[in-house]
């Protein structure tokens, strides 16, 4: 049996390293790799499921073309590539290259993803999306305040004396963090969760505050007021490192009493929480991404971050605001979140005119030229974009759709041609992480089955057929050795990074600050932490200080009284993994979760089939009455395939967050009734 | 160095990677590693925690000791207790005997599957798949000698079996504090799964009842000195065997069932039954009185063996004192059939007293059955005392119905220790700490 060290390239905090035992071109075992200090116990259940996923019989391993009757048949690769290149060429000639939408999701990270850019650039450009479905409101909020987006290494959490998990659910979406939380508790730390829902993470804490969805900023600002009024702030830190404190202080107008009205948390408990934060340092805040998927999301993150700032919990051991740690994202020429933004000069061959959050609507409205073709890789927009009915419609009205996929997803189903996608073991690549501080190498371990080609080879073949001139640097020739050479070229500038070292396990990103901002240098305009941000006002038209902006949910007549929350499920990364047997066997079957009170009011009993609906659409699924859900809210995990009932995006209208061009998933109202 | 599973509750997130890792490594058709949740409903007033559990490879492996066909073996290299599917005949005795719910019956294949400690991995020097697969380190495979033996949590049963399992870390269960405290207060409504009589239980009920009946019948013949060939007797002798085979999925492996005579009460029961049938048939047809004595004695031993099968699985007064046990019931039957009034009254009183002594109202329909059963015995007793020297058919039917009911009740009350029930009971009884530091 051969053994390799590799890393999980999913859109996930943990980015686990693990050992793969291979024999006969099949993965036999996946074992922990203790050399990664963030994930020494090995990957989560999804990581283990690669044993099944990599050799799943459901995998698409030959190019498929759609017949008139809607079914797919296999065609030879050459033929598929010929059809694609001639269609792309003729569409470009007829309507211009901007009639092509090149859609990329977050399905697999890696440097080789850049190769697509080279291809499409040489092709003449395409229309692409701006914004992101996930986290940019918070990224922008952190960057406006701290100048960059980083935090302490994950294992520093054990030094915290107080941990505030705010809207994050590590027990399901970052299981490796639980080790550090538990160790901190062992050493005497107090751990608090703030979340509308009693998530499994709640049961790893000392206490939870159940907050009304979307009101987090009000709670944070009330806490800030209590902290300031009681002198529980770090004046020295503020004097030395914070710009605009006075404006912030003077803007605070939410008292614990008024916050009680808004958040549902008793004023007395708000004051207690403020004292815990003010007196229980060092404090680490673990904010999640859900709390910023609101139309007030950016300001919410700024409000919570302000608590870390005024109490001096930045740049020190055991403290911090762990939103995202982009210290290993060293290769990007344009850093996130800027890479998500529309091109200010609009001179790139790529036209960023479609908002991720409003994809369907923007696609339909696109004119000059109208969108005619879609080329989709690493993503499942039909399922994962808000307002998915519109998205479906927009894709269906196109002339030609190519989807590169491993499985017959809801998006693959609308393709005219499906090209089989590589999996993570079939091509070498290099990945970073947004939680741990490592750069990792992911070697080629398996030969691709059937006629699977990595995207780099798909692009190579297409560029040849289209007669595009691309250098070896832009699109390497087929063969993994060429990819590894290409990777070597990419990391050449970093003397600490050698491919041979990376083969032996994760390497700390060059220039890492274990304790982020320990030098108290902030890349803001003032060089200080900007709790007051002129840029926030100029760029996003929000108050320069953090502010609570009540969410206006659509429905005036209250026909749809329940807030729909669609977080990630523990067995899935968005819409990935749910199709595997080992995941299904070890997860609860998809169902809408509702509080006992709301269920009773609608005479719904556990396990019934129900209809969820609002003005955007309807969905049918099973219901699970759960004591973990507060009344007034319902929860449906995202990423559930349509054949399992669907994941809720049909009910979600396309709206952007207040900053960063994120998607406000959690601001939708629904009603529920028994399905007959 | 004794190695085994170490579990840290404070790290377990119920992700089931352990269980997934197990099925990815092995070809079990049943789920041998499971994650149990304590307070699954997330009631606010009760602590919530998880326990990942499979087989603990006990030093005193009651599963193996009880297995009549010797389908189990101990692998000294890995210290694993392993069941061999190709020997199992599906009697499920090990399911009763294991308090940790480790042996799992596969209804499709009709045999038991159980965690084997990934003994072949251990042979390669790699830890078991489940503990290796746990991403938080909640479940690990480690040297047990330094860890405190057990009892870090009250609901972990039968430490005296010396399971290769230890708790580590904080196991103090304290309810989560929820603010505002008016939230999530729904009460727990799930109770331990109600004990039901399953199809396989019926064959056991019939086996034991007819064994009892045949022994009593022969004994009453002996007491009355009536030696005769009787078709009824032959039928009574063979019926139990026929019934018991019904609950075996792999009845053709039944010949192995006496293999573990040395340690399995079930093996002994089966051997006793075979001996008893052979002797009884011979004695009836040879008309040799001394053989009849042997037959009766072996029959009574058979009944003791039957009772022993259950006592072995549940060492509890509810079982060994139960009025529905076969030996005491047979004594009642014998006195009834032979018309010995005083012994009858004496034994009947004992039976009624025990059933009153052990009576715990459950609030379920089953309580009514208990009263009916006692009433039937009283009616039968009254009719005997009132001078009907050899009871009429109607009295016989009333009496036997009562005793049959008693045997059914025995199966309701028989509930071998099982960690699942223990956890539920623990919640129901509210035995957890509420103090916070
Ligand atoms: S999905 Fe996340 S937690 Fe799971 S193996 Fe991959 S990186 Fe690790
Ligand atoms: S893998 Fe570990 S954390 Fe997950 S359920 Fe099993 S024991 Fe618990």
* Closest ligand 1 atom number to CA of residue B135: 3
Do residues A421 and A355 both lie within one domain? yes
Q: Which residue segment(s) compose the domain that A535 sits in?
A: 136-326+521-540
Taking CB atoms and an 8 Å limit, are B176 and A52 in contact across chains? no
Report the 10 Å Cβ neighbour count for A589.
12
Architecture per CATH, B199-413: Up-down Bundle (1.20)
Nearest by CB to residue A265, choosing from B176, B179, B186, is B179
Q: Which of B11, B35, B51 to mutate to test the pocket of ligand 2 (most atoms within 8 A of CB)?
A: B35
Chain A residues touching residue B186 (CB < 8 angstroms): 596, 627
Given this model, what pLDDT does residue B436 score?
45
Residues A298 and A202 in one domain: yes
The CA distance from B250 to B266, in Å, is 16
Cα of A620 to nearest chain B Cα, Å: 24
Nearest C-alpha neighbor of B99 from the set B60, B73, B145, B140: B60
Which pLDDT score, from 0 to 100, does residue B437 have? 42
The answer to whether residue A55 is domain-embedded is: no
- Asked if residue A531 and residue A559 are part of one domain, the reply reads no
Q: What backbone torsions phi and psi does residue A287 show, to the nearest 5 degrees?
A: -80, 145
CB atoms near residue A94 (< 10 Å): 11
* Residue of A45, A171, A178 lying closest to B16 (CB–CB): A45
The C-alpha atoms of residue A259 and residue A550 are separated, in whole angstroms, by: 12
* Beta carbons of A630 and B184 less than 8 Å apart: yes
Same-domain status, A166 and A310: yes
A450 and A529, same domain (yes or no): no
Q: Where are the alpha helices (DSSP H) in B314-392?
A: 317-320, 326-337, 341-357, 366-385
pLDDT for B253: 84
Distance from residue A38's CA to the centre of ligand 1 (Å): 11
Smallest CA-to-CA distance from B267 within B94, B68, B61 is with B68
Task: Tell me the per-residue pLDDT of B363-416, one tens digit each, with 9 for 90 and over.
Answer: 777 888 888 988 898 888 888 877 665 567 888 899 999 999 999 999 989 989
- Contact call for A204 and B10, based on CB within 8 A: yes
Q: Record the pTM.
A: 0.94
Compute CA distances B46 → A520, A589, A629, B427, B430, whole Å: 45, 25, 16, 7, 8
For the stretch B351-362, pLDDT in tens is 999 988 888 887
Q: In what helix (H) or strand (E) does residue A441 lie, and over which residues does it extend?
A: strand A438-442
Please report, for residues A268, A316, A587, B62, the alpha-carbon distance to residue B270 in angstroms, rounded to integers and kept in the order given: 70, 72, 43, 18
Q: Which atom of ligand 2 is nearest to the CA of B13?
A: 3
Count contacts between A and B (CB, < 8 Å). Answer: 129
CATH of the domain at A667: 2.40.40.20
- Shortest Cα–Cα distance, B339 to chain A (Å): 58
How confident is the model at residue B189, as a pLDDT? 56
Q: B334 Cβ partners below 8 Å, 6+ apart?
A: B216, B219, B220, B223, B340
Cβ pair B167, B155 in contact under 8 A? no
Asked if A627 contacts A665 with a C-beta cutoff of 8 angstroms, the reply is no
Kindly tell me if the per-residue pLDDT of B190 is higher than 60.
no
- Asked whether residue A140 falls in the same domain as residue A81, the answer is no
ipTM metric: 0.95
Chain A segment 228-267 residues within 8 A of B by beta carbon are: 264-266
Per the CB < 8 Å rule, is B133 touching A627? no
Q: Does a structural domain hold residue A16? A: no
pLDDT band at B302 (very low <50, low <70, confident <90, very high): very high
> Which of B6, B7, B13 is the mutation pick for testing A, counting most A CBs within 10 A?
B13
Beta-strand runs (E) in B89-225? 104-106, 111-113, 139-143, 165-168, 177-179
Task: Tell me which of B16, B44, B135 to substitute to probe the interface with A (most A C-beta atoms closer than 10 Å).
Answer: B135
A575 shares a domain with A536: no
**Cα distances (Å, whole numbers) of residue B172 to B151, B257, B426, B427:** 11, 45, 14, 14
Q: B143 vs chain A: nearest CA distance in angstroms?
A: 17
CB atoms near residue B369 (< 10 Å) = 15
Whether residue A18 lies inside any domain: the answer is no
Residue B103 has pLDDT above 80, yes or no: yes
Same domain, A106 and A201: no
Question: Which residue does chain A place closest to B30, by CA atoms?
Answer: A585
Tell whether A99 and A154 lie within a shared domain: no
Whats the size of chain A, residue-wise?
Answer: 676
Q: Do B15 and A630 touch (CB under 8 A)?
A: no
* pLDDT score at B251: 81
Residues A104 and A192 in one domain: no
Q: Output the residue whose Cα is nearest ligand 2's atom 2.
A: B134
- Examine residue A49 and state whether it is found in any structural domain, yes or no: no
Same domain for A118 and A175, yes or no, is no
Quick one: B387 exposed, middle or buried, by C-beta within 10 A (0-12, 13-18, 19+)?
Answer: exposed
Would you state the CATH architecture of domain B3-182+419-431?
A: 2-Layer Sandwich (3.30)
The tokens of A52 are what? 């099944």
**Atom number, ligand 2, closest to the C-alpha of residue B35:** 5
Q: Which residues of B touch A (CB under 8 A)?
A: 8, 10-11, 13-17, 19-21, 23-25, 31, 41-44, 48-49, 126, 129, 132-137, 169-170, 176-180, 183-184, 186, 436
A203 in contact with chain B, both atoms CB, cutoff 8 A: yes
Has residue A371 been placed in a domain?
yes
Residue (of B36, B138, B135) closest to A49 by Cα position = B135
Cβ contacts of B180 on chain A, cutoff 8 Å: 210, 264-266, 269
The b-or-e profile of A497-521 (16+ CB within 10 A means b, else e) is beeeebeebbbbbeebbebbbeeee
**Residue A210 domain flag:** yes
Query: Average pLDDT, whole number, for chain B?
Result: 87
Rounded percentage of chain A residues whose pLDDT exceeds 90 = 93
User: pLDDT by residue (tens digit) across B36-85?
Assistant: 988 888 888 778 889 999 999 999 999 999 999 999 999 999 999 999 99
A residues 588-647 closer than 8 Å to B (CB): 596, 626-628, 630
Minimal Cβ distance to A596: which of B14, B180, B186: B186
- Residue A312 has what pLDDT? 98
| Segments of chain A with pLDDT less than 50 | none
Smallest CA–CA distance, residue A656 to chain B, in Å, is 31
Query: Does the residue A292 lie in any domain?
Result: yes
CATH number, domain of A342, equals 3.40.50.740
Owner of token pair 């329940």? A562
**Ligand 2, atom 4: nearest CA belongs to which residue?**
B15
Query: Would you say residue A45 lies in a domain?
Result: no
User: Do the Cβ atoms of B328 and B351 come closer than 8 Å?
Assistant: yes
Total structural domains within chain A: 3
Q: Do B23 and A582 touch (CB under 8 A)?
A: yes
Put simply, the chain A residues between 401 and 460 with a CB less than 8 A from any chain B CB are: none
Q: Check pocket membership of A572 for ligand 1, CB cut-off 6 A.
A: no
* B10 CB within 6 A, ligand 2: no
Distance CA(B208)–CA(B204), nearest Å, equals 6
Which one of B11, B24, B178 has the shortest CB-CB distance to A198? B178
Q: Is the CB of A87 under 6 A from ligand 1?
A: no
What residues of A are in contact with residue B178 (Cβ under 8 Å)? 198, 202, 207-208, 210
Ligand nearest the Cα atom of residue A32: 1
Question: Where are the domains positioned within chain B?
Answer: 3-182+419-431, 199-413
Asked if the Cβ–Cβ distance from A206 to B17 is below 8 Å, we say no
Residues A29-40 have pLDDT tens digits of: 999 999 999 999
Q: Supply B86's token pair.
A: 């190709």
Q: What is the mean pLDDT of residues B231-253?
A: 84
Taking the CA of A568 as reference, the closest ligand is: 1
A318/A342 same-domain check: no
């Amino acid at each position: 049996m051969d053994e390799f060290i590799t890393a999980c390239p999913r859109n996930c905090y943990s980015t686990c390293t693990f050992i793969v035992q291979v024999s006969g071109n099949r993965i036999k075992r996946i074992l922990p790799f203790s050399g990664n200090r963030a994930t020494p116990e090995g990957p989560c259940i999804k990581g283990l499921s690669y044993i099944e996923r990599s050799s799943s019989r459901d995998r698409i391993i030959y190019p498929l073309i759609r017949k008139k009757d809607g079914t797919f048949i296999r065609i030879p690769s050459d033929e598929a590539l010929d059809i694609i290149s001639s269609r792309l060429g003729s569409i470009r000639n007829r309507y211009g290259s901007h009639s092509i939408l090149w859609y990329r999701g977050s399905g697999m990270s890696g440097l080789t993803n850049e190769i697509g850019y080279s291809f499409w650039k040489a092709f003449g450009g395409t229309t692409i999306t701006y914004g992101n479905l996930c986290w940019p409101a918070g990224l922008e909020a952190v960057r406006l305040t701290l100048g960059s987006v980083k935090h302490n290494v994950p294992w520093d959490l054990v030094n915290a004396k107080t941990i505030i998990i705010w809207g994050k659910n590590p027990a399901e979406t970052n299981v490796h963090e639980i080790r550090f939380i538990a160790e901190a508790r062992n050493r005497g730390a107090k751990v608090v969760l703030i979340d509308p829902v009693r998530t499994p993470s709640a049961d790893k804490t000392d206490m939870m505050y159940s907050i009304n969805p979307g009101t987090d900023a009000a709670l944070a600002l009330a806490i800030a007021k209590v902290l300031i009024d009681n002198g529980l702030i770090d004046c020295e830190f503020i004097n030395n490192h914070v710009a605009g404190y006075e404006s912030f202080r003077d803007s605070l107008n939410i008292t614990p009493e008024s916050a009680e009205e808004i958040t549902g948390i008793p004023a007395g408990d708000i004051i207690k929480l403020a004292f815990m934060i003010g007196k229980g340092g060092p404090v680490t805040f673990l904010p999640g991404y859900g709390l910023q998927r609101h139309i007030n999301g950016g300001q919410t993150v700024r409000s919570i971050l302000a608590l870390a700032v005024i109490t001096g919990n930045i740049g020190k051991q055991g403290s911090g605001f762990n939103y995202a740690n982009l210290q290993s994202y060293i290769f990007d020429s344009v850093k996130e979140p800027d890479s998500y933004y529309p091109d200010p000069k609009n001179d790139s061959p790529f036209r960023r005119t479609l908002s991720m959050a409003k994809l369907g609507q923007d696609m339909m409205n696109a004119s000059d030229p109208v969108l005619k073709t879609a080329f989709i890789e690493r993503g499942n927009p039909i399922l994962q974009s808000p307002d998915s009915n519109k998205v479906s419609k927009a894709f269906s009205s196109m002339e030609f759709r190519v989807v590169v996929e491993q499985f017959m997803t809801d998006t693959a189903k609308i393709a005219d041609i499906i090209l089989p996608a590589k999996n993570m073991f079939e091509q070498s690549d290099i990945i970073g992480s947004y939680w741990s501080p490592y750069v990792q190498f992911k070697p080629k371990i398996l030969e691709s089955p059937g006629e699977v080609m990595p995207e780099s080879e798909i692009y190579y073949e297409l560029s040849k057929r289209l007669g595009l001139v691309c250098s070896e640097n832009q699109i390497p020739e087929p063969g993994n050795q060429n990819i590894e050479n290409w990777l070597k070229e990419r990391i050449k500038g970093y003397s600490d990074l050698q491919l041979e070292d990376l083969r032996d396990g994760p390497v700390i990103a060059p220039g890492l600050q274990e304790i982020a901002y320990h030098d108290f240098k902030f890349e803001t305009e003032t060089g200080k932490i900007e709790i007051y941000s002129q840029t926030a006002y100029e760029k996003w038209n929000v108050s320069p200080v953090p502010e609570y902006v009540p969410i206006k949910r659509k429905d005036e007549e209250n026909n749809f009284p329940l807030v729909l929350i669609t977080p990630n499920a523990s067995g899935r990364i968005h819409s990935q993994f749910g199709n595997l047997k080992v995941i299904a066997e070890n997860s609860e079957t998809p169902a809408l979760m509702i509080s006992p009170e709301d269920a009773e009011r609608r005479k719904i009993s556990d396990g019934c089939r129900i209809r969820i609906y609002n003005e955007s659409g309807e969905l049918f699924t099973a219901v699970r009455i759960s004591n973990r859900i507060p009344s007034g809210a319902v929860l449906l995990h995202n990423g559930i395939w349509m054949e399992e009932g669907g994941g809720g995006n049909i009910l979600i209208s396309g709206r952007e967050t207040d900053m960063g061009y994120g998607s406000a998933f959690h601001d939708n109202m629904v009603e529920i009734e028994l399905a007959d | 160095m004794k190695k085994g599973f170490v579990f840290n509750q404070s790290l377990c997130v119920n992700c089931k990677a352990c269980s997934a890792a197990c099925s990815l490594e092995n070809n079990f058709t049943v789920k041998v590693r499971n994650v149990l949740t304590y307070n699954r409903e997330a009631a606010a007033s009760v602590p919530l925690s998880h326990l990942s559990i499979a087989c603990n490879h006990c030093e005193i492996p009651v599963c193996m000791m009880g297995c009549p066909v010797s389908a189990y073996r101990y692998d000294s290299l890995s210290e694993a207790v392993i069941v061999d599917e190709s020997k199992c005949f599906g009697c499920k005795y090990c399911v009763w005997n294991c308090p940790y719910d480790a042996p799992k019956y596969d209804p499709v294949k009709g045999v038991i599957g159980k965690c084997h400690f990934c003994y072949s991995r251990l042979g390669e020097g790699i830890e078991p798949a489940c503990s290796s697969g746990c991403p938080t380190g909640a479940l690990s495979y480690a040297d047990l000698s330094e860890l405190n033996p057990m009892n870090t949590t009250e609901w972990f049963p039968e430490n005296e079996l010396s399971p290769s399992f230890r708790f580590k870390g904080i196991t103090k269960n304290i309810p989560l504090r929820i603010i505002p405290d008016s939230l999530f207060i729904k009460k727990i409504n799930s109770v331990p799964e109600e004990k039901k009589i399953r199809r396989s239980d019926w064959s056991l009920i019939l086996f034991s009842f007819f064994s009892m009946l045949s022994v009593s019948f022969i004994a009453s013949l002996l007491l009355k000195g009536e030696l005769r060939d009787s078709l009824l007797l032959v039928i009574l002798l063979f019926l139990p065997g026929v019934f018991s085979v019904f609950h075996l999925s792999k009845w053709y492996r039944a010949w192995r069932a006496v293999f573990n005579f040395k340690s399995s009460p079930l093996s002994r029961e089966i051997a006793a039954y075979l001996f008893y049938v052979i002797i009884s048939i011979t004695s009836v047809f040879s008309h040799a009185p001394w053989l009849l004595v042997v037959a009766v004695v072996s029959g009574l031993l058979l009944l003791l063996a039957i009772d022993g099968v259950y006592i072995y699985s549940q060492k509890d007064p509810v079982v060994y004192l139960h009025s529905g046990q076969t030996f005491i019931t047979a004594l009642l039957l014998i006195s009834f059939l032979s018309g010995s009034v005083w012994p009858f009254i004496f034994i009947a009183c004992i039976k009624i007293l025990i059933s009153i002594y052990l009576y715990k109202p459950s609030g379920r329909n089953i309580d009514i059955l208990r009263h009916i059963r006692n009433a039937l015995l009283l009616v039968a007793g009254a009719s005997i005392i009132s001078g009907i020297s050899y009871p009429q058919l109607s009295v016989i039917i009333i009496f036997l119905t009562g005793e049959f009911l008693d045997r059914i009740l025995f199966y309701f009350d028989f509930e071998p220790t099982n960690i699942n029930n223990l956890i539920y009971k623990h919640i129901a009884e509210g035995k957890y700490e509420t103090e916070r530091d």
